[in-house]
Amino acid sequence: MKLQTTIDAPDAGTPDWPMLVGGEWVPSESGEWRDVVTPARAEQVLARVPESTKADLDRAVDAATAALPAWRALHFRERGTILLRIADAIEARSEEFAQLTAQDTGNALRTQARPESATLVALFRYFGGVAGEFKGTVLPAGDDQLQYTRLEPLGVVGAILPWNSPLMIAAMKLPAALAAGNTLVVKPAEDAPLTILLLAQVMSEHLPAGVLNVVTGVGETVGQAISEHPGIHKVSFTGSSEVGRIVGATAGGRLAHQSLELGGKSPNIVCPSAAAPDVIEATAEGVLLAMRFSRQGQSCTAGSRLFLHEDVHDEFLRVLVEKVSKLKVGDPLAEETDMGAIINRSQYEQVLDYIEDGKSQPGVRVALDMSRDVPEGLEGYYQGPTILAGVANDWRIAREEIFGPVLVVIPWKDEDEVVAMANDSHYGLAAFVWSRDLDQALGLAHRIESGWVQVNQGGGQVIGQSYGGYKSSGIGREFSIEGAIEGFTQTKQINVKLGR
């Protein structure tokens, strides 16, 4: 089956993209379909996907359950080889994945969609290569005892994906679960399901029927059904903390395994030494990257609370504003675009509401406001970056996850003060520290309550490291063999009496 979209040929009609259940591409049993609209073109429909019901989810779980015994019994070398073949197949179509990502999510092709496509390939290669590391241990219990452990798959895994970076998040979950011997039921985000259906098409050409199933639909129906279904042994969710609490409570109510990668309001701390004349430009570039402006700020790791030391506050802010103001907002498919479109109208309006709330606070200084900049000739949900200075750490815009291109700037002068402010949040996913004094940088990094801390870099995520949050930012780790073992296996202890 060849899946096609219509962003460049709107008169060609709206294609139907069915979902994958038990190795077959099928509509919903209800016969209902749901339009997928690109955020890059106001109200332009890319495709239709099935509007699934609980009955569709039941079918997918049945298919995954039926496929589980043979898949879990497969030699790890064969599972790893399949994942490596999938990586090669994705790589051969990497530009197609990138183009579709730009259409489906609104993320810019050059700055986000292509890197996400490359990360997808890399994670399938990584987990294909470490498939043999899901192994137990033998205990030295004497010559008359054989005592050993087995790491066994959990069973059927339900993966619920977000809309901001669907391919990258899928790559954190799907190959890890498969390498460990689990089967999958995947729910893409209703606002951006197409890249996941394309991924399923590529994967299904290499996997036995039923090992991977993809069910489209809304979270209140399909996502809720995944959390509730007794045939799903593990729920792996990425999304907002608010929805994560519901998913976690529902899955936890039936004692299902779960991992939750949730929101963030990450501190971004600049020390005076990192704003010295010879490094201030590089630090500003790093802060810009850490804020995820090139993903329209729609990232749970965005360093959206910028703590600037009083001694360098004004000069650093001037340099940063100059750099950020040069970012080009535009068509996600255009090579020159730095920032694409916000995912939908509701999110667009919510971000504007946060900006207006912040601008209404006494003492706030609007360092940059490009929030209503709309590229000429385009009618989508476009929004330029906003930087608000003079912000207090207890304001709404400093407390809540905006999930848009809005950076708030908070002054500090004492390390204990900035650590206290950084940790004064119910989130704890990421953090960024900028200092040329290594003792100072590591001292701050060790004191910050976040699961992922970057020092003197805005990116730096390496495949194979553990990734996840503290506090309300989640439960569990991904992106690594350690996270995969923790998240997708269970330990069985076997004791054998010898010599009988």
Contact 202, 125 (CB under 8 A): no
Instruction: Burial-class residue 1 by CB neighbours within 10 Å (0-12, 13-18, 19+).
Output: exposed
CA-CA-CA-CA torsion sign (263, 118, 223, 487): negative
- Strand partners of residue 279: none
Active site residue 261: yes
Residues 6+ apart with CB under 8 A from 186: 158, 159, 161, 170, 174, 196, 200, 212, 213, 214, 215
Place of tokens 């192994």: 135
C-alpha to C-alpha distance for 464 and 136, rounded to whole angstroms: 20
DSSP output for 7-68: TT-GGG-PPB--EEETTEEE--TT--EEEEE-TTSTT-EEEEEE---HHHHHHHHHHHHHHH
Compute CA distances 219 → 15, 54, 224, whole Å: 23, 11, 6
Place of tokens 């241990």: 137
- Which residue in 116, 271, 300, 401 is the catalytic one? 300
Helix extents (H) in 291-407: 313-324, 345-359, 396-399
**C-alpha distance from residue 70 to each of 64, 126, 207 (Å):** 11, 23, 12
> Can 271 be counted among the known catalytic residues?
no
**Rounded to whole angstroms, how far apart are CA atoms 67 and 208?**
8
What one-character-per-residue DSSP string does 362-373 give? TT-EEEEE-TT-
The Cα-based distances of 5 to 44, 107, 412 in angstroms read: 11, 16, 50
Determine the residue type at 371: S
What does the angle CA 125 – CA 226 – CA 259 come to, to the nearest 5 degrees? 55
Catalytic residue among 116, 261, 449, 478: 261
Sheet holding 452-455, edge to edge: 365-369, 386-389, 406-412, 305-309, 267-270, 430-434, 452-455
Helix (H) and strand (E) counts in the chain: 15, 20
* Residue keyed to tokens 């903390």: 241
Opening angle at CA 256, ends 255 and 262, nearest 5: 110
What are the catalytic residues? 261, 300
